[in-house]
Amino acid sequence: MIRKKPLLHITMTGAAFLLATGCVKTNCPLPDNIDQHVQQMQIKSDTRSSDLKRNSWSMGSLCANRITFKEGKRTWTFLLVWNTSHPQGSFWYLPHDNEESAFDAAVYAVKRYGGGFLAVESNGQRHMSGKDPNRNFKKDSLYSKTICSIINTYKPEHLPYLALHTNAEGHHKNGGSGTVSMKKHSRNVISFPAGEIKSGHQEGLEDEDTLIYLAGKKVSKEKVKIFTALGLNVKFEKVSQRSNDNSMSNCIVLHKGHENYINIETEHGDLSTHKKMIDKVMKILGERSI
């Protein structure tokens, strides 16, 4: 549910702030439906994460908020960021706090296209108290419900659930150090290269680590073509109850009744390629820069 009033209020205060400074605004009033389900923790200058510190001077049109909720014994903490002048728009989920340039890419996307993003804060680590935040989307769990309702506050219905990730160079089975590569595929995850695939350090759109993840019960070649035609490599994940890994893509396909999910990945640190991919995906989605 979108509560128009608080968002309007945020829009107006944000616009005034934008004129005053280029530094990120923090601790904005949360939309009612989010406020009811999470606790807001005040961000002070000495409690900013390294992601926020690194980006704060380019985030003048954005508001960053720390939110937290308990699920069993675990306390989840997130940075919820939105564009104060255009809060409605594409919305990005960033589960891995060690994937720094994905955070920088999200800042770029939200400044340019509006909307917002939700980034897990776990002390710069991939896991939070031993749990991968992208393996925690169990059906009807508090985590799934809370994250999806936050996303739906900002995301218009027609837009997909969007995620940003980075991955390590190459694949460990090919002499690299990562676990994701266009040069590797499995029975459930099929690679569709857009053209030549290069191995090595940050080879741009042709790098084996540069790829879009799509997901569905069956491979949709028509959908794949839309991306490969723009030079974007695709990995299509075939999702089934049997292979369910409780990731966001699996949750959407199995429990939300649609396949509207796009994850954009590059090699760690390749921000310029990440930005190019975001622009191409926004073009595909018919989203214009604000």
Q: Which of 164/282 has CB closer to Zn ion?
A: 164
Q: Which of residues 186-245 bind Zn ion (CB under 5 A)?
A: none
Q: Say which amino acid occupies 73.
A: K
User: Least distance in Å: CB of 88 to Zn ion?
Assistant: 26
User: Least distance in Å: CB of 67 to Zn ion?
Assistant: 20
Binding mask 40-79 for Zn ion (x = CB under 5 A): ----------------------------------------
115: left (phi over 0), alpha (psi -120 to 50) or beta: left
Provide the token pair at 133. 């935040």
Binding mask 1-40 for Zn ion (x = CB under 5 A): ----------------------------------------
User: Least distance in Å: CB of 96 to Zn ion?
Assistant: 4
- Spatial distance between the Cα atoms of 141 and 126, rounded to a whole number of angstroms: 21
User: Least distance in Å: CB of 202 to Zn ion?
Assistant: 17
Q: Which of 14/178 has CB closer to Zn ion?
A: 178
- Number of residues binding to Zn ion, judged by CB under 5 A: 2
Q: Which of 96/184 has CB closer to Zn ion?
A: 96
User: Least distance in Å: CB of 33 to Zn ion?
Assistant: 27
Residue 285 burial (CB count, 10 A):
15
Q: Give the gyration radius of the chain's Cα atoms.
A: 18
Binding mask 94-123 for Zn ion (x = CB under 5 A): --x---------------------------
User: Least distance in Å: CB of 248 to Zn ion?
Assistant: 11
What are residue 94's DSSP bridge partners? 119
Which residue number is nearest to Zn ion in terms of Cβ? 165
Q: Which of 48/96 has CB closer to Zn ion?
A: 96
Q: Which of residues 129-168 bind Zn ion (CB under 5 A)?
A: 165
- Asked if 274 interacts with Zn ion (CB under 5 A), we say no
Q: Which of 25/165 has CB closer to Zn ion?
A: 165
Q: Which of 102/282 has CB closer to Zn ion?
A: 102
Q: Which of 17/261 has CB closer to Zn ion?
A: 261
User: Least distance in Å: CB of 94 to Zn ion?
Assistant: 8
> What is the binding site for Zn ion (CB under 5 A)?
96, 165
